[in-house]
Structure 1
């Protein structure tokens, strides 16, 4: 939309709302590669229409494609990497049956609108604004759209790290936190798979011959949960447990998946070593633990501090105060880029609440200022 006074395009919240709606209405749960690829098709078409150079890396291991788009200016030199993911946690049909796209005052509802199609669209919109204004940035901009961030980016992590190392800055369009704060540090994410193998037996006639895998796992679960320490910032959650074959059988097998969050690389290493050293309480039950660091801690260093201060000054020019979250427990692809030493700002997407829920929402009032901040970062980073 143009400003009649200057006949120049302006950042327009209604225009942003319509664009976000188009992206949100293409449902894209991580485990449905065809659905995520439909979303990638839309993003590719939108990016191609404004002159971006497109590369699409075919998905593997059942995941969807990785899409990258680069501005036609700036050559091959290091520039700005914009990281977004286009997968969501909500299953197909959620937008129809549970959470339809709708606006209620300042709240705009829809699956994945907050985490993070709203933010992904803002970055695209800022780039489109540059094109419509006939402007170029000092640095080339590469947009990377990740297809499986919600499950830990198993096929895209290496490419994310490689792309980060080719650039000077990384901007992550994950949602804002706590009323518009951006993220300059995150806890690391550790993931462990635990398997117990005991000895089956008839629960009534030969109970004494059995060795219960579930009983062993129960003791292991307590051991894991006791690692939580709020003072040091370590949390440990046994989130999935499965075992047994029948109520009248001493269970031979039991499995569990464990999620741990840690604030520092040192604690990540310490906890990993401790957990991988766990042994069975019952010597007749075999316990196998695998896993380790899924996403390294994202620590606010000098480079990130300088980048944040720059963004804070830009926000003040726009007319709002930008604050950062000192450390958040959620992981993102920004963990990977910060860990390889590239200055990273995260949480640059829309403000809102309810990620992954049946009331997920973005705040309409955040669309314009957040798009302007992204645009000014594009224009001023060098």
Structure 2
């Protein structure tokens, strides 16, 4: 890595872009457009909807009807604006580059775009290349999922620049992700003079949470998590309402369907309460197929030529846009981004030494698939 290259990546990290900050995300899109200006790359910018940032579709390679290689990166992060000023300042400590979003996933997006640009300049792509840069992955890709699936159906392979796992492992399978919202309604009353008349929605929600958490089955790879609860209006009032979201992770489509039915079928344990559940599977399971295994073997051979050992990680618990393409039967490699650790935390960092070899791997994939 040259100092000039690092300076460019520093600019990316300084440009904070949490999903809900449309202006910040669009500044990131501006940086990508500028990055492509001196390369034979067709740039299409699709305005974002629902208050979210824009989408970029970058095209390069031969202009044929042959199925393309689809590369996917997202430029939204989870860190709120201001994180870089106080809680996670941009800094280099040895091989570690710290900063909000550097690992998940600006580091990987940046060097993979550089690889894409280099292949476009050299004209060495064997098939059409489509690079989809999205603004909404961290919230489940609500506006870009249809685009991802549309491009996926017209592609031979999908490559995802999410961060590498421990010690640079690549991702070839992920759990499916479900998201649900539960609303419990009881009956309000004064906590002192009318306590007997009330029906405590928080109390009923607690019983429902026990039922939800009991759906976790580690042997099957099923986890259910209630990470937030909100309810009540005052300490001396029996609460009428309580709400909580549920995070579901599953390894198979069948388990996703079964647990979804169980969650949507939650019933109050007392007739004076009402329980309403909405939601469903947000990302289908990304299961490793024979075609994906062959794609991984090809990538592993390329990595060996470059000089490093590429290892496949166990099934990842987190979802990505690769779940969508894999579910369509498209051979999908994920975790092609920067190595490091601390995604979604205030200890997030990327390993500078991982950039050059992984950038070369991306170039070779684009040239040989």
Q: TM-score category by the smaller chain?
A: over 0.9
Q: Is the counterpart of residue 31 in structure 1 residue 17 in structure 2? A: no
Residue pair 2:41, 2:117 contacting (<8 A) in 1 also: no
Give the distance between the partners of 2:155 and 2:2, measured in 1 at CA: 30
Give the distance between the partners of 1:345 and 1:126, measured in 2 at CA: 16
Residue pair 2:306, 2:361 contacting (<8 A) in 1 also: yes
Unaligned runs of 5+ in 2: none
Identify the match of residue 347 of structure 2 among 349, 355, 359.
359
Displacement, 1:131?
4.4
Structure 1 residues 110 and 364, CA gap change in structure 2 (3 angstroms): same
Identify the match of residue 137 of structure 2 among 145, 149, 174.
149
Residue pair 2:103, 2:343 contacting (<8 A) in 1 also: yes
Q: Is the counterpart of residue 48 in structure 1 residue 48 in structure 2? A: no
Residue pair 2:174, 2:316 contacting (<8 A) in 1 also: yes
Report the 3-state secondary structure (helix = DSSP H, G, I; strand = E; otherwise coil) of the residue aligned with 1:168. Answer: strand
Q: Is the counterpart of residue 87 in structure 1 residue 98 in structure 2? A: no
Displacement, 1:49?
2.8
Displacement, 1:169?
0.5
Give the distance between the partners of 1:81 and 1:373, measured in 2 at CA: 15
Give the distance between the partners of 2:88 and 2:190, measured in 1 at CA: 47
Report the 3-state secondary structure (helix = DSSP H, G, I; strand = E; otherwise coil) of the residue aligned with 1:358. Answer: coil
Give the distance between the partners of 1:155 and 1:131, measured in 2 at CA: 28
Unaligned runs of 5+ in 1: 1-11
Name the counterpart of 1:185: 173
Displacement, 1:241?
0.8
Name the counterpart of 2:271: 283
Displacement, 1:270?
0.9
Give the distance between the partners of 2:61 and 2:312, measured in 1 at CA: 32
Displacement, 1:73?
3.1
Displacement, 1:321?
0.9
Displacement, 1:100?
2.0
Displacement, 1:166?
1.2
Give the distance between the partners of 1:56 and 1:77, measured in 2 at CA: 23
TM-score under structure 1 normalisation?
A: 0.94
Give the distance between the partners of 1:131 and 1:72, measured in 2 at CA: 6
Identify the match of residue 348 of structure 1 among 295, 317, 336.
336
Matches within 5 A, 1:97-112: 97-112=86-101
Give the distance between the partners of 1:327 and 1:16, measured in 2 at CA: 33
Identify the match of residue 210 of structure 1 among 191, 198, 206.
198
Using the TM superposition, name which of 372-381 and 88-97 deviates more. 88-97
Give the distance between the partners of 1:286 and 1:60, measured in 2 at CA: 34
Residue pair 1:13, 1:364 contacting (<8 A) in 2 also: no
Q: Is the counterpart of residue 308 in structure 1 residue 285 in structure 2? A: no
Displacement, 1:128?
2.6
Report the 3-state secondary structure (helix = DSSP H, G, I; strand = E; otherwise coil) of the residue aligned with 1:350. Answer: coil
Say how many residue pairs are matched.
Answer: 369
Name the counterpart of 2:360: 372
Displacement, 1:15?
5.0
Give the distance between the partners of 2:357 and 2:325, measured in 1 at CA: 25
Q: Is the counterpart of residue 242 in structure 1 residue 242 in structure 2? A: no
Residue pair 1:53, 1:72 contacting (<8 A) in 2 also: no
* Cα-to-partner distance string for 1:95-129 (whole Å, 9 max, x where unaligned): 12222222111111111000000110111111232
